[in-house]
Structure 1
Amino acid sequence: MIETIVLDVGETITRDDRYWASWADWLGIPRHTLSALVGAVVARGQDNAEALRLARPGIDIAAEYDARETAGRGEGLDESDLYDDVRPALAALRGLGVRVIVAGNQTRRAGELLRALQLPVDLIATSGEWGVAKPHSQFFQRVLEVAQADPGGTLYVGDHPANDVFPAKASGLRVAHLRRGPWGHLWADDPDVVAAADWRIDNLTQLAEIVGA
């Protein structure tokens, strides 16, 4: 029985459109160019940050992030960044008595911005706040600690095979792979992803059906 559902952030509950557009603008390159580079690294199975390194060889991403914040061009997140199914899906899960947690590889600032949206969830946490990031097993151990639930009763939902599906499964959680965003679409039918995922979904509203089954 699923008692707790934990959702990834980027391309699970939020669109990454603005994130990548803002980086392209900051680096002074066409948005289409950076978007294409993101697609290239996704196809290679590399970390998304590699797209920034391709666009600007030798870039110090942490230093650039700080520079953007100082210049008033740092992270932004509001209601328009949420996928349309997020609030209905979360409300339905809460209505079923499921504990709902949002936890992904984001900064402390992203955590603050997410909490400001007042989503119908029990907890929002980021890797920047925890000091450990996916795919490290300690991230998922922390998930289980805050969930206060048995691994078999906890479902992790995400789009990324290497960061979500495989490590969550290895940590004993149930897994739903979401066909959303570049990673979700490109790797949806990969045999290893299909084998590892307990469920494969196209919309977050399907989670209520999983809980109620």
Structure 2
Amino acid sequence: MISTLSADGTTAIAMEEGSGPAILIVHPGLDDGTAWRKVTDILAREFTVTNIVRRQYRDDIRRRVSIADEVADIAAICGALQRRVLIVGHSSGGVVSLEALAARPDLFVGGVVYEPPVDIGQPIGGESLDHAVQAIAENKPGKAIQIFTRDIVGLPSGQSRMIRVFVGLSSKLKRLAPGQIADNVAMRDLGTRLGAYAGIELPVLLIGGGRSPAHLGERLDVLMQTIRYSERVLLPRQGHSANQRAPREMATVITRFYRDLLVPKKEAH
């Protein structure tokens, strides 16, 4: 485990495995850092893989968490690693990763972002997010996540109802639900940041799923036009959870991208 102080004195925490060139995983919402375990187990055969435990989802953090706080934690972990990394961010973790790439390009060799719900001109969530915030305030995490998955993520109503049931049955999901809604508030507070992302000069791989909600693909379209050195990969049979449903496919995409980044460095010697 890596434990180091972030800029504001909060301890940043990450788990590390494997050896070789470094990858930093920034996990998605409604997760405690374990959702990418199947992928990291594969990547760790060739790379040093570090999974940050995002501040937004930690039980020991009692105050409001901003995207800037999480970027500072990433910088602290990279400082502890003492080398540049490939940052890999999923969903809201992808938004955090883009912010890190824009703020501290010196820390990275490039980035991989999987369906980040970036603001492309409309506020994240709108009134639905306010309703989800109210549900959390009323101690109704299942209702909050139903609103989130149906009205913000864009899942079918029936699937969102099932997720509400799962939240009611899972102590882990109940615990993580407030962080998920707070995560969306933090992204809404961030606003439209396409101007900052246009300044990213590092290679960035944009990953999307063929079965994901259409708005996620639209956001990737905009990012493709915004980030100068970006390329895009579509996983045609996957949705927003390919890290769990197709971990080998996801690991292969990341590995190929990283190997291509490393080739010029090897040839330079």
Q: What's the TM-score, normalizing by structure 2?
A: 0.29
> Larger strand proportion, structure 1 or 2?
2
Structure number with larger C-alpha Rg: 2
Structure with higher RCO (Cα < 8 A, 6+ apart):
1
